[in-house]
């Protein structure tokens, strides 16, 4: 690739016999420049195929018009949807997105965050990885004066802007739905409890039991069952109990629920009549399994939009004493075949 000399504002100024100041002003559509010359400058810029050097502009202005995003995995439905949502609304405002994946690894997450601080991004949007145990790197973001927005998986103790799902309420509704459907022994597949979202989903599960005055059975709660494989493994254990469950709430994800369904199918257990199944996240496949899986929709693209809008709102905000905002999005229970039994 040969090196190309790019057109600068000086080239334009030289050609027109004026100074770079005027060119800069014209190109920024400043009002304090003659309309005629402005037109001429813009025309000439176009002819010379001029593109502003944003690096220089941002360096001078002390901003980057860039937002950094850190997620565990880009290619996971929920996250790619949130990113799509963020991109959708930031793009219109001339902001760019730098995307990093932490790969559910604490050290890589720290690395990602540092990279973004180096890049002088204006804002960092993050959903923390599953094995994050310490949030010094996030505090570091704040100390650098960079806006920090946490979403979905958040470190609650940090006072930052947050966009979250009401996981307690969603789980509560899901389990209530199961109880009302006549299921008596409802098991829970739970995720790593250091992640707030999984803790909250368990809370919602317990809340429903309390509400309906149903006793909680400890042996029906399976830890760390948050992949398809682990979900399947947990299910096998549950179904081999002397007193097996008649419903399973895979609170971690639809992937986990899919593991449940696979095992049930393999063991010849009928869903939903003998076993009810509820997942989480409304992955595209949950609609097309047989039976289709009851799940919870998190409005992920909308969540992305919300995050972006929150950022733009905060830029304008000069009141530094205000408490950081927390926006909670109410997810929606989607009832499908896996829990619809004819009583």
The contact set with its own copies (CB under 8 A) reads 1-4, 6, 49, 51-56, 58-59, 64, 66, 73-77, 80-81, 83-84, 87-88, 91, 94, 96-101, 112, 114-115, 117-120, 140, 143-145, 147, 258, 283-285, 288-290, 301, 314, 317, 320
CB 80 within 8 A of CB 74: yes
Q: Which residue has the tokens 């001429």?
A: 40
The whole-angstrom separation of Cα 164 and Cα 244 is 34
Q: How far is CA 96 from the centre of its chain?
A: 17
The whole-angstrom separation of Cα 170 and Cα 201 is 8
The whole-angstrom separation of Cα 176 and Cα 146 is 42
Residue 87 binds: one of its own copies, DNA, none (C-beta under 5 to 8 A by kind): its own copies
Q: 119 phi and psi, to 5 degrees? A: -75, -5
CB 293 within 8 A of CB 286: yes
Which of positions 28-47 make contact with DNA (CB under 7 A)?
Answer: 28, 31-35, 37
Q: How far is the CB of 48 from DNA (least distance, A)?
A: 10
Q: How far is the CB of 18 from DNA (least distance, A)?
A: 4
Residue 292 binds: one of DNA, its own copies, none (C-beta under 5 to 8 A by kind): none
Which of the ranges 50-58, 194-202, 211-219, 298-306 carries the binding residues for DNA, by CB under 7 A?
50-58
Residue 24 binds: one of DNA, its own copies, none (C-beta under 5 to 8 A by kind): DNA
Q: Which of 48, 57, 169, 325 binds DNA (CB under 7 A)?
A: 57
Residue 193 binds: one of DNA, its own copies, none (C-beta under 5 to 8 A by kind): none
CB atoms within 10 A of CB 159: 11
The whole-angstrom separation of Cα 4 and Cα 64 is 24
Judged by CB, which is closer to its own copies: 48, or 327?
A: 48
Structure tokens at 162: 């947050």
The whole-angstrom separation of Cα 190 and Cα 198 is 7
Structure tokens at 249: 């709430």
Is residue 140 within the footprint of DNA (CB under 7 A)?
Answer: no
Residues that bind DNA (CB under 7 A): 6, 8-10, 17-22, 24-25, 27-28, 31-35, 37, 50, 52-53, 56-57, 59-62
């Amino acid at each position: 690739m040969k090196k190309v000399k790019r057109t600068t504002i000086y080239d334009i100024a030289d050609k027109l016999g004026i100074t770079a100041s005027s060119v800069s002003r014209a190109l920024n559509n400043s009002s304090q420049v003659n309309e005629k010359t402005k037109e001429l400058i813009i025309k000439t810029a176009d002819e010379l195929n001029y593109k502003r050097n944003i690096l220089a502009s941002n360096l001078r202005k002390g901003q980057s018009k860039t937002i950094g995003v850190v997620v565990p995995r880009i290619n996971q439905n929920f996250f790619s949807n949130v990113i799509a949502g963020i991109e959708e609304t930031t793009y219109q405002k001339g902001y760019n997105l730098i995307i990093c994946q932490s790969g559910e690894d604490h050290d890589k997450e720290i690395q990602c965050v540092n990279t973004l601080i180096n890049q002088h991004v204006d804002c960092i949007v993050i959903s923390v990885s599953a094995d994050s145990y310490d949030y010094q790197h996030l505090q570091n973001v704040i100390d650098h004066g960079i806006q920090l927005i946490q979403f979905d998986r958040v470190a609650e103790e940090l006072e930052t802007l947050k966009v979250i799902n009401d996981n307690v309420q969603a789980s509560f509704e899901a389990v209530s739905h199961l109880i009302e459907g006549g299921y008596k022994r409802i098991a829970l597949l739970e995720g790593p409890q250091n992640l707030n979202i999984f803790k909250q989903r368990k809370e919602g599960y317990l809340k429903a039991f309390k509400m309906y005055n149903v006793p909680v059975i400890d042996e029906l709660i399976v830890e760390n069952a948050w992949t398809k494989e682990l979900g399947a493994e947990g299910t096998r254990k549950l179904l081999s109990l002397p007193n097996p469950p008649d419903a399973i709430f895979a609170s971690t994800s639809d992937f986990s629920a899919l593991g449940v369904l696979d095992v049930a199918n393999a063991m010849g257990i009928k869903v939903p009549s003998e076993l009810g199944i509820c997942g989480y996240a409304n992955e595209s496949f949950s609609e097309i399994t047989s039976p289709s899986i009851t799940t919870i929709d998190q409005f992920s693209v909308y969540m992305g939009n919300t995050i972006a809008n929150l950022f733009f709102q905060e830029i304008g905000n000069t009141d530094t004493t205000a408490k950081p905002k927390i926006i909670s999005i109410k997810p929606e229970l989607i009832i499908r075949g896996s829990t619809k039994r004819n009583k």
